Amino acid sequence: MTLTQQRKLKTLLVGLASWCVALLLFFPIFWMFITSFKTELQAISVPPQLFFEPTLENFTVVQERSDYLKHAWNSVVTSFGATILALIIAIPAAYSMAFFPGKRTKDILLWMLSTKMLPAVGVLVPIYILSRDYGLLDSKLGLVIIFTLMNLPIIVWMLFSYFKDLPKEILEAARMDGATPWDEMIKVVLPLSVGGIASTGLLSIVLCWNEAFWSLNLTASEAAPLTAMIASYSSPEGLFWAKLSAASTLACAPIVIFGWFCQKQLVQGLTFGAVK
């Protein structure tokens, strides 16, 4: 075998192995997706059925039984609301730490991240009681506030690592022209870091969409986002896998498709500036 043939064979084997792993890891999602088009009987048949006549009945049942659209709307409002609010609060902070670092900047950043380490269960009871007293239980506004605070440290950190990589010379040039720090931020830094802000926002949206702890504990029928709606299908009232799959597919499809389109930006954000 010549060297090029050897190399081709190697690429082929690597490709095959990668495909096998990818299909294996993706299989649960694929299975959920096709089960959602089965009848309940087909869903639990042994051996599992790969080919069958698809039905859309489960989706209509899910919409009727648990009002999918309402919960999907709750998810959209809370995810986007919290993300926008958090960005507005975080951008000035990240900007000031990246461009005017003081002696304690590093400590402040680590402290912010350490607040994420504070386990949610540790403060579940007080948050529950505060929400109750201020009428924020089972309200979208309550969730938006919690999600904003929950993601704020990560958002500040990510924005900080983007801003830090911007060339300092541009800012100095702007300052020579008499720009104030506020002008610099709005007119120079923001336009230059649209990409970074977008990836940060995307990650925040994904984290909010999939947040389950606070959604399960602080909402009931009115403001429950999709994560909480799905949990209602875990009750052991029998095997309704087709409907469960339909509900799950509906709950995950928006964010999975969203993620597929934005994966490049998302990944960049996820590395927290540790990877150039």
Partner 1 sequence: MKRSITRLLMAPSVLLLLAWMLVPLSMTIYFSTINYNLLYPGRNNFVGWMNFEFFITDPGFWIAISNTLILLISVLLITVVLGVALSALIDKPFFGRNVVRVLLISPFFIMPTVNALIWKNMMMNPVYGIFAWISQSLGLEPIDWLSDYPLMSIIIMVSWQWLPFAILVFVTALQSQDTEQKEAAQMDGANGWHIFRYLTVPHLARPIAVVVMIETIFLLAVFAEIYVSTGGGPGYDSTNLAYLIYNQALLQYDVGVASAGGLFAVLLANIVAFFLIRAVGKNLTV
Site for partner 1 in 31-90 (CB under 8 A): 31-32, 35, 44-48, 89-90
Which residues from 251-270 bind partner 1, rule CB under 8 A? 251-252, 255-256, 258-260, 263, 267-268, 270
Q: How far is the CB of 98 from partner 1 (least distance, A)?
A: 10
Member of 62, 87, 97, 143 binding partner 1 (CB under 8 A): 97
User: CA-to-CA distance for 69 and 252, rounded, in angstroms?
Assistant: 13
User: 140-164 vs 105-117: helix axis angle to the nearest 10?
Assistant: 140
**Of positions 49, 96, 139, 265, contacts partner 1 by CB under 8 A:** 96
Asked whether position 231 contacts partner 1 by CB under 8 A, the answer is: yes
272 binds partner 1 per the rule CB under 8 A: yes
Q: Does 11 bind partner 1 (CB under 8 A)?
A: yes
Q: Site residues for partner 1, window 126-155 (CB under 8 A)?
A: 126-127, 129-130, 149, 152-153
**Does 205 participate in binding partner 1 (rule CB under 8 A)?**
no
CA-based radius of gyration for the chain: 24
- Only segment of 53-61, 99-107, 136-144, 192-200 that touches partner 1 (CB under 8 A): 99-107
Q: How far is the CB of 249 from partner 1 (least distance, A)?
A: 9
**In the complex, what is the shortest distance from the CB of residue 140 to partner 1, in angstroms, rounded to a whole number?**
18
Q: Is residue 13 packed enough to be buried (19+ CB in 10 Å), middle (13-18) or exposed (0-12)? A: exposed
